[in-house]
Structure 1
Amino acid sequence: MRTSVPSVVLGLCSYTHDSAAALLVDGELVGFVEEERLSQTKHTRDYPRNAVQWVLREADITAADVDIVAYNFRASRYLAAVPGVAGLLRSVHTRQRALPRIAGFTKVALRTARRTQALGELFPRARVRSVLHHRTHQMYAFAASGWDSAAVLVVDSLGETQTTTISTARQRAPGWPQVRTLRALRDPASLGYVYGAVTEHLGWRRGDEEGTVMALAALGDPARFRGLFARAVRLSPNGFSLDPALFPIRVLTSGYPRLSPRFITETCPARPAHAPVEQVHRDLAAALQERTDVVMLHLARRTRTLTGSPRLCVGGGVATNCVSIGRIIDAGIFEEVFVPPAPGDAGTAIGAAAVTHLDAGGWLLSGIAGACYLGPSFPAPEIDLTPWPGLSAHTPEDPVEHLAEQLAEGRIVGLFQGRVEAGPRALGNRSILASPLNNGVIERLNATVKFRESFRPFAPMVLADHAADYFTLGQSAPFMSMASGVTDLARAHIPAVIHANGTARLQTVTKDQNPFVHAVLEAFKRRTGVPVLINTSLNVKGKPICGTPRMALDCLASSGLDALLLEGRWVTK
């Protein structure tokens, strides 16, 4: 074991989207939280002031005690796009954007350098270290798995110039992960770029509502646009490439559309956000998802060939596509697949801190493997309901049994307990729970609780020991990141959790992972015979998951929730 001690490392994701902060003290992860859970601004790109203040308080230190600030982008690496300008100028499809593209990447490089310098001014004793973006994804995905060795596949929209990396990873010693990149694809070959562009074209917010398009895909026929996407996203021995005649090359400046007039002519006009969803939109979403699955399977096979590893960790924004992850598992390419709880950019705050800590010769890492409940907790909040005059509260004698009884009787209940989850999924600490046995529960959840599209599905949480009775995934899924097939028992008893494509994005729950939720599932099973509950995030459409009691009470008061169990207090209206 190494004996040098760099001690306090603050990891930051900031100024792009999904701002977050993570803190390592002597290699131990003290805490991690996304800024949106405290600021109430979804996907905020602001400096994560609230998140930083919380992690420092959690460690009982100040900004002056931080030794290293680890940032999740490296400014100079944006300039790697510059040498490619000559090739772009030679092609009729890329010529017009070539110089604006290089200007945009150069501008972002300079802006990132200024932001990195500004971070140093906030922490007077700290050194600032910039970490290659994909390296932060790789490190977090592998460290969170807790495995001795694995392959790592990172797929996102853009990290400096990288969009896809294949790596091999191993533990040099327990808590000492090492990751080595074997292959990298660079922009403009970007699967995240494609998915975001079509999401925006279909009338949803790019970088936020790709999951809505993934859900819509189950209602469409991919055959209608299959040929188009096969031309647009072409497979190659080393990965894939994009046809710039359909997906114009990226320019990091507003005013440059991500879809070409030819793509629009061959598909449909852009759908306004509140316009009806037509069959052509369903079919376009279906073809997009199908091609995403094809590319992800191709990349997974390439990863297995290059690394020889029987285990795969997946990170990056595209790793949140649970359908594609489920396809990789079903294909049997790997014996086991792992997606960390925060695979998108927020999680790179942890990855940046871990990389920097180890590079500086720090103590072995701890507190990352298998951890998802990493944010603030409010164990005994004072509940002043004055701002919500319609609410009232009492303390049930046995919160577990009371909650299970209310759910069995058909009520939809918010659950706020313990530390805030990391990542985009509520995993039982900031959740909305409902019985999957009630007729019309999905319609009610979408229409009156979440205020979202009627075709959106809801995920099941299941006792891990009973998962195989209802789901065919064949492995654990603690972070609700994988779509699974279902059994005849599930079709017969819990059809509410099955999406139109015959899958469900499940969360397997063990007693060690979440004792309270495990006890609720057991109590619900005793009453109904079914160890499954519907679990969705404690928020409404357009709002972040509720990170504080005030946010949770606002959610109860402004939505169709029947009640909220807030740290053992039963709040109703």
Structure 2
Amino acid sequence: MLLKDGRVCVGIEKERLTRRKHDGGNDSAAITYCLDAEGIGIGDLTLVVQCANFDIPDRARFAGARLFAGSIHPPIVTISHHLAHAWSAAGTSPFDTCGILILDGCGSPLGQCTDLDGVTLPAGLDAPDAAMWCEKDSFYRFDGRHMTTLAKDFSPLARQDLAAPMRMRTTRHSIGGFYSAVSHYVFGNLDDVGKLMGLAPYGRPGMVPHRAFDMRDGRIFVADGWQAAFDRPASDYPAFRADFQYYADIARWAQGEVETAVAALFRARLAQHPSPQLCYAGGVALNAVANARLLDEGIVGDLYMEPAAGDNGLALGCAYHGWIEVLGRDKVPHDGSTCFGRHYETDAIAAALTGAPSDWSIERLDTAVLIDRAAALLAQGSTLAWFRDGSEFGPRALGRRSILAHPGTPGIGDHINANIKFREDFRPFAPAVLPEHAASCFVSGRNSPYMILIDRTRPEMAEVLRNVTHVDGTARVQTVDRSWNPDFAALIDAFYAATGLPVLLNTSLNRRGMPMVERPDEAVALFAETALDALVLQDVLITKRR
């Protein structure tokens, strides 16, 4: 992540470059991408801020040689995990001052926290191993220039009983750790913890008679005793499918327990530290159902959820900490965009299409014509890959690296899951809607530009929005912001003109197990190997001749 004059100019997640999901460790590839996009070198940087759990990266090596090896410039500052999350929210939020709640699975160990000045630590941190107890939730106040820690809670690392079917894989008492443990039990992997939220509506209420969390003195603890009831972990996808209802029931239970725990923690922190304007980050903040409950129940008022709420957002927070806190500069208002990727020029598009099959139609078009042609294809029931401008930073495709379709065409959602995404059939799709039409399609109609809030589809719209409405009548809505997503908004406008429906089905441009597409050649390869009908590659429209 690179800031220039207080504004994000470019940012990328390493997995998009290496094509390995959740790729971590050495940061050289991501740094090189950012420097190359701006046409600068290491010597042009004023400051580097870094963050990593348990290990403080050496300037010369971190899982391999780093770009900073052999030089004392630029200076490197290290901050801890939750503090970086907090700065990511403070820097991108629309608020001048705010409270910030961080909630995740595992932050920095106590012994490496850099944000403890003035904070009263919870009882119990006198254990012999307390230096390795890790952050699980933190609450901050940002006054426009400085970050103040108001409350922090810690948890010991979970004891790893490798024979236990259900085991906490991070800290003993974190909400995020609980959700990850259940997800691993249900799916047999941690590739996409968010799948549990999509599975939960298929479950039956009351099938798991256990309480997962206790609230004591304003602190959340994972309860004891429930783990013994879980003795049938899914070994693979066929095992999961063979006992689908059992795992769906567990997902529903876990989702409900998390929602209750999140709501309780918000109430406790806001009772101690009232904050009319509140930011929220950390991996748990990606739970769109729990987020909606906070608003629906009036637990929070003015809430900003950082779009890259997971650990990808740490780089964003490090950059803002460096600009505002270390360099002492003023916060520069952020335009709300999450699209920090580099732009690919005509030569990169042409190179990606070299050797294209003879049965592809390839046309370079003016933007207005391109959008009208794309909208017409979508109106006719085609599936369309949409690759325009710089990619999104964070886990959601918001109209730069998207697969799009008509939300009302019968069977098209199942077709995308089976023949394009190659993923589980219970996974839902998001509706992308223009803000002025949100209330006519969804019950609350609230602003949701980052696809991390659910709404309910209006009953009268259920049929025409069948592919973007989940089995329980909910939808993870994206309200498309024209100011930073003008071409995507224009496409929905054109689709609305053609169909009378101001909504598109939107899902990420990738297939199961693959990071979101970053480069033109990756988009072309995905188009070739799947059942996609058309691809918009910047100003080029590619279709497969039938």
CA shift, 1:110, in A, is 9.5
Match of 1:508?
Answer: 479
For residues 7-31 of structure 1, what are the alpha-carbon distances to aligned partners after superposition, in whole Å with 9 as ceiling and x for unaligned? xxxxxxxxxxxxxxx1123433221
2:436 paired with 1:453: no
Q: TM-score, normalised to structure 2's length?
A: 0.85
RMSD: 2.3
Matched, 1:394 2:377: no
Structure 1 segment 172-211 matched on structure 2, within 5 A:
176=145, 178-187=146-155, 188-206=172-190, 208-211=191-194
CA distance in 2, matches of 1:402, 1:110: 50
Q: Amino acid of the residue matched to residue 300 of structure 1?
A: F
Task: Report the TM-score when normalising by structure 1.
Answer: 0.82
Trace 1:309-328 onto structure 2 (pairs within 5 A).
309-328=275-294
Pairing 1:360–2:326 present: yes
- The equivalent of 1:566 in structure 2 is 537
Aligned partners of 1:455, 1:117: CA distance in 2, in Å? 40
Question: Which residue of structure 1 lines up, in the alignment, with residue 223 of structure 2?
Answer: 243
Contact 1:116-1:130 within 8 A present in 2 as well: no
Task: Write the distance in 2 (CA, Å) between the matches of 1:357 and 1:316.
Answer: 21
Q: How far is 1:394 from its partner?
A: 1.2
In structure 2, distance between residues paired with 1:196 and 1:111: 30
Separation of aligned partners in 1, 2:345 and 2:64? 38
Q: Per-residue deviation at 1:393?
A: 1.2
The yes-or-no answer on 1:41 pairing with 2:20 is yes
Q: Compared with structure 1, are the counterparts of its residues 505 and 112 closer, same or farther at alpha carbon in structure 2 (3 Å cutoff)?
A: farther
1:290-314 Cα offsets, whole Å, 9 max, x none, are 0011011112222322332223211
Q: Which residue of 1 aligns with 2:86?
A: 138
Secondary structure at the residue paired with 2:139?
A: strand
382 and 473 in structure 1: CA distance in 2 versus 1, 3 angstrom threshold: same
Q: State the secondary structure of the residue aligned to 1:326.
A: helix
In percent, how many aligned pairs have the same letter? Answer: 32
In the alignment, is the contact (CA less than 8 A) between 2:340 and 2:393 conserved in 1? yes
What is the letter of the counterpart of residue 12 of structure 2?
A: V
CA 387–344 in structure 1, closer or farther in 2 if over 3 Å, else same: farther
The residue number in structure 1 matching 2:161 is none
Q: Is the 8 A contact 1:396 1:402 kept in 2?
A: no
- Inter-partner Cα distance in structure 2 for 1:445 and 1:306: 47
Q: Is the 8 A contact 2:49 2:322 kept in 1?
A: yes
- 1:25 corresponds to which letter in structure 2? K
Asked whether 1:234 is paired with 2:214, we answer yes
Structure-1 residue corresponding to 2:169: none
Aligned length: 495
Report matched runs for 1:162-561 at 5 Å. Answer: 162-171=135-144, 176=145, 178-187=146-155, 188-206=172-190, 208-225=191-208, 227-228=209-210, 230=211, 232-243=212-223, 262-265=228-231, 268-275=232-239, 276=241, 277-366=243-332, 368-380=334-346, 381-384=348-351, 385-389=353-357, 391-396=360-365, 398-561=369-532
Aligned-partner Cα distance in 1 for 2:498–2:311: 41
The structure carrying a bigger helix percent of its residues is 1
- Partner SS, residue 308 of structure 2: coil
Q: Is the 8 A contact 2:386 2:536 kept in 1?
A: yes
Kept after mapping to 2: 8 A contact 1:74/1:112: no
Determine the C-alpha separation between the residues in 1 that align with 2:221 and 2:60.
30
| Distance of 1:283 and 1:183 partners within structure 2 | 35
Q: Sort the Cα spacing of 1:121 and 1:111 in 2 relative to 1 into closer, same or farther, 3 A.
A: closer
What letter corresponds to residue 218 of structure 1 in structure 2? P
Q: Distance in 1 between matches of 2:70 and 2:253?
A: 47
Cα displacement (A) at 1:128: 1.8
Deviations 1:193-234 (A, max 9, x none): 11111111112422x321211111110014111x32x1x321
Structure 1, 475-484 or 296-305: larger mean CA deviation: 296-305
Structure 1 moving runs of 4+ over 6 Å: 109-114
Structure 1 contact 315–339 (Cα < 8 Å) conserved: yes
Amino acid at match of 2:286: T
Aligned counterparts of 1:327 and 1:123: Cα–Cα separation in 2: 50
| Alpha-carbon separation, structure 2, partners of 1:403 and 1:23 | 33
Q: 1:69 corresponds to which residue?
A: 48
Q: Given that residues 156 and 191 in structure 1 are in contact (C-alpha distance below 8 angstroms), is that contact kept between their aligned partners in structure 2? A: yes
Q: What 5-or-longer segments of structure 1 have no aligned partner?
A: 1-21, 76-107, 247-259
Give the 3-state SS of the residue equivalent to 1:166 in structure 2. Answer: strand
- Which amino acid counterpart does residue 23 of structure 2 have in structure 1? T
Cα gap change, 1:292/1:339 in structure 2, threshold over 3 Å: closer, same or farther? Answer: same
CA distance in 2, matches of 1:336, 1:503: 22
Describe the shift of the 1:396–1:117 C-alpha distance in structure 2 as closer, same or farther (beyond 3 A): closer
Task: Give the whole-Å Cα distance in 2 for the aligned partners of 1:49 and 1:318.
Answer: 28
Deviations 1:228-247 (A, max 9, x none): 2x1x321223131023555x
Contact 2:384 2:404 in 1 (8 A): yes
Aligned residue for 1:4? none
- How far is 1:468 from its partner? 0.8
Cα 1:358–1:118 shift into 2, 3 Å: farther
Change (3 A) 1:271 1:280: farther
Q: Which runs of 5+ in 2 are unaligned?
A: 109-133, 156-171
- Structure 2 CA distance, aligned partners of 1:474 and 1:571? 35
State the AA in 2 paired with 1:150: C
Structure 2: distance between partners of 1:317 and 1:351? 14
Of 552-561 and 232-241, deviating more is: 232-241
